A and B are shown apart, each in its own frame.
Chain A
Amino acid sequence: DVKVTQSSRYLVKRTGEKVFLECVQDMDHENMFWYRQDPGLGLRLIYFSYDVKMKEKGDIPEGYSVSREKKERFSLILESASTNQTSMYLCASSKRTNTEAFFGQGTRLTVV
């Protein structure tokens, strides 16, 4: 079975902190994605990566950056956390084309 693991289920951080969300997949997938999910807005794509060290902006990249130093790991970085970044963050991975994405369990981040 494909497994996508996010490092934390729940996080509480203070405004202005630098926050790292980690995601690891064990199926040698080329593509990895970071989404945030908010009520009424669905899943919105923040960043995605299609290979090691390769990344592309999604629909809402402002205030975020990403790192993909190894194929299995994709990190989302909040440079200076703000209260409007309180959300559920979901990581997903997939093969390059024509297959579905598999999701991690999500990280509920609260910025106070």
Chain B
Amino acid sequence: GQNIDQPTEMTATEGAIVQINCTYQTSGFNGLFWYQQHAGEAPTFLSYNVLDGLEETGRFSSFLSRSKGYSYLLLKELQMKDSASYLCAVRDFPLYSSASKIIFGSGTRLSIRP
């Protein structure tokens, strides 16, 4: 089966840095995604990792260690608009399957205080 764990809630201060961790277990790992979701809206794509290491896109970075089943999303220079839920998702492509599927964690609700 598959399992994705991330903290339920986090709080950080405007201008600071926050790291949101994600651990996963899948039978056919084929990439890890981070999405941002504001209340009442659809998730929007932030980053994608398929190889070990760090991917940077502006204020956001995402790290992957496949051997540890671990990823984190790093948000720098936090702004009030970064208050949202952050969803860790894994593309799972088991050997027995004809297709890959994308499985989500429960999400981390991040609150930014002034």
Interface size on A, residues (CB 8 A): 29
In the complex, 28 of the A-B residue pairs with CB atoms within 8 angstroms, ordered by the A residue number, are: A31-B99, A33-B101, A33-B102, A35-B104, A40-B8, A40-B106, A41-B106, A42-B107, A44-B104, A45-B101, A48-B101, A50-B98, A50-B100, A56-B97, A56-B99, A56-B101, A59-B103, A90-B43, A96-B100, A97-B91, A98-B50, A99-B48, A100-B48, A101-B45, A103-B42, A103-B44, A104-B42, A105-B41
Cβ of A105 and Cβ of B87 under 8 Å apart? no
Bound state CA distance, A11 and B30, in angstroms? 35
With A and B bound together, what is the CA distance between A42 and B50 in angstroms?
22
20 new A-B contacts, CB < 8 A, other than A50-B99, A97-B93, A102-B45, are: A31-B100, A40-B106, A41-B106, A42-B87, A42-B104, A43-B104, A44-B104, A45-B102, A45-B104, A48-B99, A56-B98, A56-B101, A90-B42, A94-B102, A97-B30, A97-B91, A98-B50, A101-B45, A101-B102, A106-B41
Name A residues whose Cβ lies closer than 8 Å to a Cβ of B: 31, 33, 35, 40-45, 48, 50, 54, 56, 58-59, 90, 92, 94, 96-106
